[in-house]
Structures are given as structure tokens and as C-alpha cells.
Amino acid sequence: MSIVEIRGLVKDYGKVHAVRGIDLDVEPGEVVGFLGPNGAGKSTTIRCLLDLIRPTAGTLRLFGADTRKHGVAARQKVAYVPAELRLPPRATAGELLDVLARLRGDCDAARRADVTARLGLDPTKPAKGLSTGNRRKVALVGAFMSRAELLVLDEPTSGLDPLLQQVFRDLVGEAKGRGTAVLLSSHSLAEVQRTADRAVVLRSGQVVARGTVDELRGTAAQRVEAVFGAAAPDLSAVPGLTDLRRDGRRVHARFTGPPEPLLTALAAVRPLSVEIAEPDLEDAFRTLYEEQPS
């Protein structure tokens, strides 16, 4: 049984189609990256899943239960970090975490203390004085102190410095080690690449790609750069080579498909050096977006 099972999710706001038929599964113990630029429909999908907003069409299940009819029981196993956390101004971070702990009833005090210390959160500070990063820390402590079986994290590292982003990745790794599934919504490709087992890429409310991070990288164009002893030859006839740019003795291009035609062509013109860079998710992301009409 999938922990998260979304089928044919549609959400319209009047004439605006925020989500247009999304299917999504999250299995126990896996980290799924939910990628897309701002406005792609990530937060809308998550809010439908958590029953904050009601779908126009489609079915949503958490732990096998309909999120509308059995949402309370299902959310007992879910902890959530919203994209933008607004907190009552007068309460301190510690008081807010106390309230969350009492509402959930499944929080681990030792884990709370550990995560609070690792993120460097001062629990005595009033919420109104907290920076964006510190508010994010409150939400992260609130999520990671629970014994939830699913963490839904919406842009969880925005506002955190690189050191804390590493702490966050460690926390996700530890949660995964405990068997907790993670749905990680982000527009940061590097974050998903470092953290997720699988990624689902959204654009304009639709899924444009899904697969393991390696599979998505496999669909991406590799960056190719070759240096020659004389003026760079014309390689435009090589299948799979795009964005070709000649710069004196250098050739820059992007390459997709089987490498044999490229290697044969390069061997024939005897370059001084060739660099074919491993594509990262950012390349895959760009490729996907360029291939899909909006």
C-alpha cells in the first residue's frame, strides 16, 4: 500500500487551472522530490493532500484512507512543514512547539531537544522577532520531533544557510533510516538531487517527468566541450548535438542520445581534449521544460 496515493488530481480556481490531473505515489521509507518552479502546483497538491483545500476532481489517499473522510486519523501519521510559516506573534517558539506536541501527542522530547540544538533554535524567542530562517527552524523541529510516518516538507530549506541545509539533509537521512517516508517539495534541484530517491517534476499543474534521480539525469543533455589544435571544426551534422557554439579552437555543445556518433566524429577531427560533463538534475529539469510546451 502506498503511503500517498493521488489519482487524477484537478484543482481549479475559477478559470485558473492550478493542478491539471496529477498522479503521485509515495511508498514507505522513500524520499520523493516534488520539483517544479513557483506556480507549478506543488503547494496546491500538498494542501489538497492535507485537506486544507478541496480538489475539483480526483482522489487522494493517505495511508489508504480518503483524506476527506478520514483525514484526522491519517494526519496523525503525517507531519508538515509549510512553505511559509505564519506564527502567532506573542507566543515563543518553545510555546508553539509545546502546543504542536500536545495536539499531535506523538512527540519525542529527546528528539525535540536534539533537533532544536542541531538547528540552533532559541525556543525562548517570541515568534514576532523570528527571522524567516528561524521560523523555518520552528516548523522543522515541529515536524522532526514527531513520530510521523510521513513528512511533507514544502520548500523546507528556504531561508536556511548552507550549514543548516546540511543539517536538514542529515535529518532527512535519519528519518529515512527510521522508515519514515518524505515528500520533499522544492524548486531547488540540488536539494532534491542530494536527498531524494525519486523525483516527480511538475510544470503548469501537470507532471512532466517522474523517475529516479538517475533516470531523470539520464534524460538530460550532457555538456560537451572539445579543444582543438586549430580552428574548431563544424560538428553540426552529428546527431544529438544541440546548442553548438564554436569559439576559436573550442567547441561547446549539449548532447543527448547514444554517444557513438559523437565519439566517432570527434575521433575523426583529433581534438586536443574532450570533456563530457555528467548532467545534473538542473540539466534534466531544463531539458524537460524546453521539451514541454506550456
Partner 1 sequence: MTGVLVAGAARAVRRSWLLWAVSLAALIGLTTAFWPAFRDNPESGAAVAGMPEGLVEALGIEDLSSPEGFLWGNLYALIVPLLMACAGSSILTTLTARQEDSGHYELILTQPLSRTAALLARIGTATAAMVTLGLAVLIIQLASNSIWELDITTSRLAATVTLCTLTALVSVGACAITAGLTPRPGAAMAAGVGIAVAGYVLSALFPLREGWENAKYLAPWNWALGGNPLTTDTDPWRYLAPLALTLALTTAALIAFNRRDVHAP
- List contacts with partner 1 (CB under 8 A): 43, 47, 50-54, 71-73, 75-76, 78, 80, 82, 84-88, 90-91, 99-100, 102-105, 139, 142
Rounded CA separation 182/263 (Å): 41
The contacts of residue 141 (CB under 8 Å, 6+ apart) are: 93, 97, 112, 115, 116, 119, 121
Residue among 73 and 263 whose Cβ is closer to partner 1: 73
Minimum Å distance from CB 87 to partner 1? 7
The contacts of residue 50 (CB under 8 Å, 6+ apart) are: 67, 71, 75, 78, 80, 152
Minimum Å distance from CB 39 to partner 1? 15
Residue among 15 and 102 whose Cβ is closer to partner 1: 102
**DSSP three-state, residue 112:** helix
Minimum Å distance from CB 225 to partner 1? 44
123, 209, 210, 224, 281 from 177: Cα distances, Å: 27, 27, 23, 38, 24
What sign results for the dihedral spanned by CA atoms 96, 101, 103, 104?
A: positive
Look up cell 512527540; give the residue: 107
DSSP 129: G
Total count of residues recorded for the chain: 294
Residue among 145 and 232 whose Cβ is closer to partner 1: 145
Minimum Å distance from CB 268 to partner 1? 59
Minimum Å distance from CB 139 to partner 1? 7
Minimum Å distance from CB 13 to partner 1? 9
Residue among 15 and 90 whose Cβ is closer to partner 1: 90
Q: What is the DSSP string of 226-292?
A: EE-SSSPP--TTSTTEEEEEEETTEEEEEE-S-SHHHHHHHHHH--SEEEEEPP-HHHHHHHHHHHS
Residue among 13 and 272 whose Cβ is closer to partner 1: 13
Minimum Å distance from CB 211 to partner 1? 29
Nearest Cα to Cα of residue 111 among 101, 125, 126: 101
Rounded CA separation 201/29 (Å): 20
Contact status, residue 252 vs residue 245, Cβ threshold 8 Å: yes
Minimum Å distance from CB 110 to partner 1? 21
Residue among 51 and 283 whose Cβ is closer to partner 1: 51
- 3-state DSSP percent of the chain in helix, strand and coil, to 5: 35, 30, 35
Residue among 187 and 252 whose Cβ is closer to partner 1: 187
Residue among 10 and 53 whose Cβ is closer to partner 1: 53
